[in-house]
Amino acid sequence: MFLNRQKYALLLVLALCSACMKENIPSPGGVKSSQRVSFDVAVTREGQAIPPERQASMSPATKGSVDSDELPFGLVGIDYDHNAVVVDNQIVYSSGGNYNLFFDALVWDEFNTQNVSFSAYYPYVRDIKYEDGLEAYSIPYAVEETSAGPMVSKTVEMAVAQLNIVPLEFQHITNDIGYCVCDVTPDPNLQGLIHLRKVVAHNVASAGVFVNDIALSHGIWHRQGYYRKVVVFEGDAVVGVGSENEKFIGYHTLEDRLAHSHRYYSIPDEIEVGKQFVEVFFDVEGFTLNGFEYPPLEWQHAKYMLYGLLPDNVFVYGRQYTFHLGLDLSSIYSEITFAPSVSGWETKIFENNDKF
């Protein structure tokens, strides 16, 4: 027999009120029992589990590091037998790395008799909207949330909850982007002279609405036309010669390991002609060539377009991209015409990023 909407409204109120309970709450009629529900959180990549020692910590990435303060996620519960929202964007906090939520025990027992599907997303935002007969919900992400590396979980049926533990398998819904650099100048007399000073990525898509289909455990992005520039590197680092000495670009240094590089998140975007580009600023040491002395050059500037580098000029969400900058000083006609170019631009998807 179908439960009426009034009963579900009451159940929902009880669930939300009890979600903040940390212990049993006395009432005139006695003691109301609360049920602690734990969430077994894992992060996977394209359906394959990441080993625990390399799992993302569900924390915001800032300048190549991982913040120790864990952000909460949002939880949604839908009863499809009665077309009702039974957990309405409930915020779930972490304590000591563990995510727990307290429900009224009667409400939780009621969930066990219904066809309830759970979905979670990270990080939490205050306002979401339900769509398509509760089969999907939309999450509006501003730049503050996209900088935290948004994720959504696969849909979980109530029936899989064991001993009041709900498994949540999160997957990334943005792109993780970083850069490598090396000196590809073919003339040995001109090699090893480049000092990287600054790298800036322009027109990085940074706000949008993600519509998560609960039934399909899949979603789609609707970009909101908000773009920003990201300062990837600022410093003074000698660029290694040849691909064998290529290094990842960190925020102030060049790094041997991808995990130590400065990477940023971007909403998947279509690459357009003349739109997305990377600026590189560099110095060149002075040198002697064929009896002529060339003075040092400071803050030389080059701009490299992203159009044509990816299949179909589209970023695919949940993927990690590392762009390789090959700087070339092979064409020098005078002291003011050093003309760096990107030689052999290449895009790779690294499958073993410690932070993604």
* Domains of the chain from N-terminus onward: 5-24+34-49+57-172 (2.60.40), 175-204+228-348 (2.60.40)
C-alpha to C-alpha distance for 259 and 161, rounded to whole angstroms: 34
* Tokens 């120790």, located at residue: 68
Tell me the DSSP string of 197-247. EEEEEEEEE--EEEEEETTTTEEEEEE-S-EEEEEEEEEEEEPPBSGGG-E
Give the count of beta carbons closer than 10 Å to the beta carbon of residue 256.
11
* Tokens 């691909």, located at residue: 243
Taking the alpha carbons of 280, 283, 285, 287 in that order, is the dihedral positive or negative?
positive
Taking a C-beta distance cutoff of 8 angstroms, is the pair 156, 118 a contact?
A: yes
C-alpha to C-alpha distance for 1 and 276, rounded to whole angstroms: 57
C-alpha to C-alpha distance for 72 and 224, rounded to whole angstroms: 24
Strand, helix or coil at 8?
Answer: helix
Q: In this predicted structure, what is the pLDDT of residue 69?
A: 52
Cβ neighbours of residue 167 closer than 8 Å, sequence gap 6 or more: 39, 40, 42, 156, 160
Q: In this predicted structure, what is the pLDDT of residue 45?
A: 59
Of the chain, the end-to-end C-alpha distance in Å amounts to 46
Q: In this predicted structure, what is the pLDDT of residue 159?
A: 84
Q: In this predicted structure, what is the pLDDT of residue 32?
A: 60
Q: In this predicted structure, what is the pLDDT of residue 220?
A: 94
Tell me the DSSP string of 90-130. EEE-EETTEEEEEEEHHHHHHHTTS-EEEEEEES--S--EE
- Strand pairing category for 73-79 and 116-122: antiparallel
C-alpha to C-alpha distance for 52 and 42, rounded to whole angstroms: 8
Specify the DSSP element, H or E, that contains 144: helix 143-146
Q: What is the full per-residue pLDDT of the chain (356 aa) written as tens digits?
A: 333 333 333 333 334 344 443 343 343 444 468 899 999 988 875 544 444 433 433 333 322 222 335 789 999 999 988 899 999 999 999 887 789 999 999 888 888 888 899 999 999 999 999 998 899 999 999 988 888 889 999 999 988 887 889 999 999 999 999 999 999 888 888 899 999 999 999 999 999 999 999 988 889 999 888 999 999 999 999 999 998 999 999 999 999 998 899 999 999 999 999 999 999 999 999 988 778 888 898 998 888 888 888 889 998 888 888 888 888 887 543 333 333 333 333 444 443 444 33
